């Protein structure tokens, strides 16, 4: 196969949860640019449809669909509708994350922890469970979980300085578990031709710099990152297409760090 062709996603059906969000939009755009039909899914159906409409207006294939990862009935219905409408599900990108109740351990209430896990743990498990059934039947499929550097290394609390910002305990818990979950999927479903990988991004500029400007945390983060900057909208596009496409046909169980070198010290 020609190496350029190996990156193409023509005729592939890709689902991106949280596809209308900060990271979800460039992920969906990258898959669409590579030729895939992209299903953008989240609880907010209007936002998903707006994001899909924007892609279609630029000549790409996309639809927006409603999905509540906190409800199993919604997850089951969503996957059923995808299969009925498109007849296949080739790539699942688990990008959605609940940030509700993100606090330090001393601030955390039991109800807040459980509410977070309902989406970030149970929801992740359930949508993967329902999607992978169809991938097994087709003897092929790709699962990409969007993690974080917080799932690879411990939080560097001094980087926040005196800003009052901090790293929530459940985010580290969720993203660390996601890496292990990815490896389990890869090892168990490899026999069916299914690959599972994780992408762990570092700090994302549009979600940080636009909100906080150049405060102490932003300055410290840039200083401690070998490439000297936060990630931008384009930085995740190449990695997502690589892992979704045949270019990574022999890559599974891997956690790809897209962090400007943050974890390499």
CATH number, domain with residue 207: 3.40.50.720
Per-residue pLDDT at 214 exceeds 90:
no
Of the candidates 170, 165, 75, which has an alpha carbon nearest to the alpha carbon of residue 115? 170
Model pLDDT, residue 210: 83
Model pLDDT, residue 159: 96
Average pLDDT of the segment spanning 183-209:
96
Domain that holds residue 115: 5-258
Catalytic residue among 171, 173, 189, 221: 171
Whole-model pTM? Answer: 0.97
Per-residue pLDDT at 101 exceeds 80:
no
Q: What is the pLDDT of residues 28-61, one digit of tens each?
A: 999 999 999 999 999 999 999 999 999 999 999 9
Q: How many domains does the chain have?
A: 1
pLDDT-based confidence at 211, cuts 50/70/90?
confident
Per-residue pLDDT at 76 exceeds 90:
yes
Lateral strand order in the sheet of 194-201: 61-66, 37-42, 13-17, 91-94, 141-146, 194-201, 255-258
Q: Considering the domain boundaries, does residue 43 fall inside one?
A: yes
Q: What is the pLDDT of residues 130-175, one digit of tens each?
A: 999 999 999 999 999 999 999 999 999 999 999 999 999 999 999 9
Q: Considering the domain boundaries, does residue 159 fall inside one?
A: yes
Q: Considering the domain boundaries, does residue 171 fall inside one?
A: yes
Q: Considering the domain boundaries, does residue 264 fall inside one?
A: no
Average pLDDT of the segment spanning 227-252:
98
Q: Can 192 be counted among the known catalytic residues? A: no
């Amino acid at each position: 196969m020609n190496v350029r062709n190996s990156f193409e996603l023509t005729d592939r059906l890709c689902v991106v949860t949280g596809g209308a969000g900060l990271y979800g939009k460039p992920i969906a755009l990258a898959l669409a640019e590579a030729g895939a039909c992209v299903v953008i899914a989240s609880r907010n159906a209007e936002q998903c449809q707006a994001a899909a409409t924007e892609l279609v207006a630029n000549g790409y294939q996309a639809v927006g669909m409603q999905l509540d990862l906190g409800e199993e009935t919604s997850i089951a219905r969503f996957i059923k509708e995808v299969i009925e409408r498109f007849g296949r599900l080739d790539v699942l990108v688990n990008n959605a994350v609940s940030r509700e109740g993100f606090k330090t351990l001393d601030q955390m209430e039991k109800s807040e922890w459980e509410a977070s896990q309902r989406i970030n743990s149970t929801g992740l498990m359930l949508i993967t469970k329902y999607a992978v059934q169809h991938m097994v039947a087709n003897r092929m499929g790709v699962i990409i979980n969007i993690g974080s550097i917080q799932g690879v290394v411990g939080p560097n609390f001094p980087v926040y300085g005196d800003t009052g910002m901090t790293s929530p305990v459940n985010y580290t818990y969720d993203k660390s578990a996601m890496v292990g979950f990815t490896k389990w999927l890869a090892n168990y479903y490899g026999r069916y031709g299914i690959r599972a990988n994780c992408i762990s991004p570092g700090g994302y500029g549009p979600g940080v710099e636009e909100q906080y400007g150049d405060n102490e945390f932003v300055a410290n983060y840039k200083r401690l990152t070998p490439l000297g900057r936060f990630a931008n909208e384009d930085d995740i596009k190449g990695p997502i297409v690589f892992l979704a496409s045949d270019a990574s046909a022999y890559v599974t169980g891997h956690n790809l760090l897209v962090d400007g070198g943050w974890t390499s010290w």
